[in-house]
Structure 1
Amino acid sequence: MHSIHLFIIASFVHHVLSQSTESSRTGLATSAVIADYPTSGTSYANDGITITLPTTVDYASITDLSSAMGTDNTTAAASTSTSGNSTTSSPSQTLLVGTARTTTTLNGTATRNATASRTTSSARPSNTAPCNGHPDFCQRKYSNITYIAAHNSPFIRPGNLAANQMLDVEAQLNDGIRMLQFQTHYVNGTVYLCHTSCDILNAGTLEDYLITITKWLRANPYDVIAVLMGNDDVIDPMNFTGPVVNSGLIDFVYTPPTVPMPIESWPTLAEMIFRNERAVVMLDYQANQTAIPWLLDEFSQMWETPFSPTDRDFPCTAQRPPDRPRDVRLDRMYMANHNLNLEVSFAGFDLLVPFYPLLNETNAVSGYGSAGVAVSNCTQMWDRPPNFILVDYYNIGSYNGSVFQVAAEANNVTYNRDSCCGTAGVQSIAARLLEGSDARKIYVFVVVVGIASSWFL
């Protein structure tokens, strides 16, 4: 039996190395992308109809929000620009105090049982830069900022081919990641964080993951984040309310006034922080905002470029939701998927894995296939930069955290290169391992060994 496996593995190695050699000459294969999201049982809401949602936020009652936030209106004059994320950076430090919230509400009316976790934001740290580290962002709308998003944020297991990140979620947030994206799977009544299958990579329960995020939000009361959950099993959205409530994240969720949300309808970061609504929680499929207003329907609120791309040109064409006119797309936030994948096909099987050897180019500020070039192309095509740049292994690039430099340039602010990344030396070690023209061959060999080991177990 083992001899048969070895023959298959040898054939597979030959096939993969042939693919890799061809890719090194012409770029990555551009065959049909393997979907990394549910392709059946899904639908997209009609975002041509505006629905007003119940909300407790009344910003009109705040007469001078900029004064309350410790910021100056004169530094925020450019924040309303829709032609790009334009403003200037200020190095000043500001003490910012938001409003504490204690609630266990599920949707503004129904309440969770008394065992649900409760959180407050009473901490008042001093000498802290507000508004995601840039005081100038305070008076800029949430929809007028470019954020770096961690693709499959929880999947960090070393040696596992399904991993997409190297540093844990706390390090991600500390380094500046402001959207956490991931897949979920429903197993025996519990929502787990699993990549493709819980037999391949299981990062634990959604509730445990959200507890870590909630603790970070408590400790960082001047930051706004997004959580984008992939509903891969296309289950009822009520299955996500328990983990959000019991983790305490419910105390920080943002509830929009309408669905969909046009670009200009989003609040400023100052408004979100002042109200302590600092977590934008989205679900890609099955969300029902009339029932659960704070669980945002992703594709009513924004659109995406092609997901799990294998094309190094990273076209900034709209993929999901399909069939929307350009004027509608221009009035929504959007996410550029910039996580490069290697697609390997053999004997009827399709495998899609992060293309690790090219991370120093994919996450770079400039050069072919770089995040910097992709953002520039998107900006030209859509008259403004993407709101989210979804990346694998964010800490690796042309230098540590180069993807944050890309976002900083899109936002017209400065970035401190010394602020990244969570583990010293990670970048240099990875770079040394992947140097040389045979990097692709080494990588696909590792892929094959990983597959083979699972056959022999």
Structure 2
Amino acid sequence: MLDPCQLLLVVCLAPAALGQTAVISVTASGPSSSFTNPQTGTIASPVSTATGGPDIRVDLPTSLLGETPSGILTTTRSSWVPAVTSAPEPASTQPCNLYVEFCNRRYSDITYVGAHNSPFVKEYSLAANQNLDVKAQLNDGIRMLQGQAHKLNGTIHYCHTSCDLLNAGPVEVYLKTVVGWLRDNPFEVVTVLIGNGGFLNVRDYSEPLEKSGLAELAYIPKERNIKIDQWPTLSEMIQTAGKRAVVFMDYKADEGTIPYILDEFKYMWETPFSQTDENFPCTIDRPSDQPKNDTQGKLYMANHNLNTEFSIAGKRILIPNTVDLEETNGVSGFGSLGLMANTCRADWDRYPNFLLVDFYDVPDGAVFEVAARANNVSQGGGCCGKKKSIASPLMKATDLLLLLPTLAILISTFF
């Protein structure tokens, strides 16, 4: 059996014979974090000897997880690693959903930031809920996309309450953008929550989902009504023929008819939505008949979007509160997303799976910091998209004049 000195000699000479350069370091204990070789641009990853000897670092290909033509992930290492090391396959350095740590976590063991009414982006509209379009949302780190759908002239559109109020266009067009992004980012898993505002038959959704390509990417559980400890890891979802979209529908889902549209409330429950209460309670709101002894078996979503209430002729109208966004989407403080996440953690012994927010980009990066803390990872990357966030429509009289048409539509909608 080779002693450590002989092993070092073999490792040094073998790559030299093949015209390659090895980077080697010896440590007295277990493997440390990987690093990049500035000469070769490859990643050095720990490889341990079979005898428990010193750790030896050798250059490995930078892309440890490559996508094969079939879409299946494979783990590779340099062919010149000496067989005498009997080394296990190195840990992947390819992130899943932006973090390497997430690859081996179950889908149900991660807290995701969601865009409430993701499609509704329109300047000077009281019905808008986001500043940036869906591609920017995904680029920034949003991993749940929620929106309300209605049928207009035989085609399903994303419409806020009424297509006269805010029409974001056909669902198929929106989903094509999502699918294009998923294909460009093969190591990401995205959740799509369809709010069936028009209470349409689930069959009506098959055409836009199939024509957009989302149906092809949609994850279908092996067993129905799986519990949180039965969800696959992100890497397993990515490797299973690229089934990297989880599609839920709140009402009228029928998995026997359309198996890739999951019945939301069989898998998930929600805290109260359309809140005007800055306390943001973590109580169960939907489904109303959710058994409390079943809550720990399901995913759950924290609705954290604050609204301002208007009363016109006795009718209650809610619009997004953009005045207090800095506090509402903040990391800490009364009414903040961070405080709600921690409160829910205390109430239910685990963090929410989804944090659903309005105008996620205000203040810059705060909602992602909340999720990073919940996931026990360091926030990575930058945020957010380049478009300047809109000023509060309630702060400027000139803006209010521009919003009068929207107010008129709101009034006509409720009367």
Which range, TM-score by smaller chain?
Answer: 0.7 to 0.9
State whether structure 2 residue 271 is matched by structure 1 residue 305.
yes
- Residue 349 of structure 1 is matched in structure 2 by 315
| CA displacement at 1:402 relative to structure 2 | 0.5
- Residue 4 of structure 2 is matched in structure 1 by none
Choose which of 391, 414, 419 in structure 1 pairs with 2:382. Answer: 419
Structure 1 stretches lacking a partner, 5+ long: 1-69, 73-91, 102-119, 435-439
Is residue 95–residue 130 contact of structure 1 (8 Å, CA) maintained in 2?
A: no
- Matched ranges for 1:162-241 at <5 A: 162-241=127-206
Q: CA RMSD in A?
A: 2.7
Per residue, is there more helix in 1 or in 2? 1
| CA displacement at 1:394 relative to structure 2 | 0.3
State whether structure 2 residue 133 is matched by structure 1 residue 133.
no
Tell me: CA distance 1:139–1:357, structure 2 relative to 1, closer, same or farther (3 Å): same
- Residue 380 of structure 1 is matched in structure 2 by 346
Choose which of 254, 259, 263 in structure 2 pairs with 1:293. Answer: 259
State whether structure 2 residue 294 is matched by structure 1 residue 328.
yes
Partner SS state of residue 309, structure 2: strand
Partner SS state of residue 353, structure 1: strand
- Residue 366 of structure 2 is matched in structure 1 by 402
Superposition TM-score, scaled by structure 2 size: 0.75
Is residue 185–residue 193 contact of structure 1 (8 Å, CA) maintained in 2?
A: yes
| CA displacement at 1:243 relative to structure 2 | 0.7
- Residue 250 of structure 2 is matched in structure 1 by 284
Superposition TM-score, scaled by structure 1 size: 0.68
Tell me: CA distance 1:419–1:325, structure 2 relative to 1, closer, same or farther (3 Å): same
Partner SS state of residue 419, structure 1: coil
Partner SS state of residue 357, structure 1: coil
| CA displacement at 1:455 relative to structure 2 | 4.6
| CA displacement at 1:100 relative to structure 2 | 5.6
Tell me: CA distance 1:171–1:128, structure 2 relative to 1, closer, same or farther (3 Å): farther
The one-letter amino acid paired with 1:132 is N
- Residue 232 of structure 2 is matched in structure 1 by 267
Is residue 124–residue 402 contact of structure 2 (8 Å, CA) maintained in 1?
A: no
- Residue 64 of structure 2 is matched in structure 1 by 95
Tell me: CA distance 1:403–1:94, structure 2 relative to 1, closer, same or farther (3 Å): farther
Is residue 275–residue 307 contact of structure 2 (8 Å, CA) maintained in 1?
A: yes
Distance 1:301 1:158 in 2: 35
| CA displacement at 1:97 relative to structure 2 | 3.4
- Residue 35 of structure 1 is matched in structure 2 by none
Tell me: CA distance 1:100–1:178, structure 2 relative to 1, closer, same or farther (3 Å): farther
Per residue, is there more strand in 1 or in 2? 2
- Residue 367 of structure 1 is matched in structure 2 by 333
Segment of structure 1 superposing worse, 239-248 or 382-391:
239-248
Distance 2:159 2:340 in 1: 29
Tell me: CA distance 1:455–1:338, structure 2 relative to 1, closer, same or farther (3 Å): closer
| CA displacement at 1:444 relative to structure 2 | 8.9
Distance 1:389 1:149 in 2: 6
Q: Give CA-to-partner distance per residue, 1:300-343, whole Å, 9 cap, x none.
A: 11000001111100000000011222220111000000011111
Is residue 121–residue 218 contact of structure 1 (8 Å, CA) maintained in 2?
A: no
Is residue 116–residue 147 contact of structure 2 (8 Å, CA) maintained in 1?
A: yes
Is residue 94–residue 100 contact of structure 2 (8 Å, CA) maintained in 1?
A: yes
| CA displacement at 1:93 relative to structure 2 | 7.3
Is residue 276–residue 309 contact of structure 2 (8 Å, CA) maintained in 1?
A: yes
Tell me: CA distance 1:192–1:178, structure 2 relative to 1, closer, same or farther (3 Å): same
Distance 2:371 2:62 in 1: 21
Distance 2:314 2:300 in 1: 34
Is residue 345–residue 351 contact of structure 2 (8 Å, CA) maintained in 1?
A: yes
Tell me: CA distance 1:380–1:455, structure 2 relative to 1, closer, same or farther (3 Å): closer
Segment of structure 1 superposing worse, 291-300 or 140-149:
291-300
Partner SS state of residue 191, structure 1: strand
Is residue 111–residue 355 contact of structure 2 (8 Å, CA) maintained in 1?
A: yes
Tell me: CA distance 1:251–1:342, structure 2 relative to 1, closer, same or farther (3 Å): same
- Residue 249 of structure 1 is matched in structure 2 by 214
The one-letter amino acid paired with 1:185 is H
Partner SS state of residue 323, structure 2: helix
Is residue 304–residue 334 contact of structure 1 (8 Å, CA) maintained in 2?
A: yes
**Structure possessing the higher radius of gyration over alpha carbons:** 2
Partner SS state of residue 408, structure 1: helix
Structure 2 stretches lacking a partner, 5+ long: 1-42, 46-60, 76-91, 410-415
Partner SS state of residue 258, structure 1: coil
Is residue 161–residue 447 contact of structure 1 (8 Å, CA) maintained in 2?
A: no
Aligned residues: 334
| CA displacement at 1:95 relative to structure 2 | 3.5
Q: Give CA-to-partner distance per residue, 1:176-209, whole Å, 9 cap, x none.
A: 0000000000112210011111111111100000
Partner SS state of residue 135, structure 2: helix
Structure number with greater CO (CA < 8 Å, separation at least 6) is 1
Distance 1:358 1:233 in 2: 31
Partner SS state of residue 162, structure 2: coil
Partner SS state of residue 442, structure 1: coil
Tell me: CA distance 1:182–1:442, structure 2 relative to 1, closer, same or farther (3 Å): same
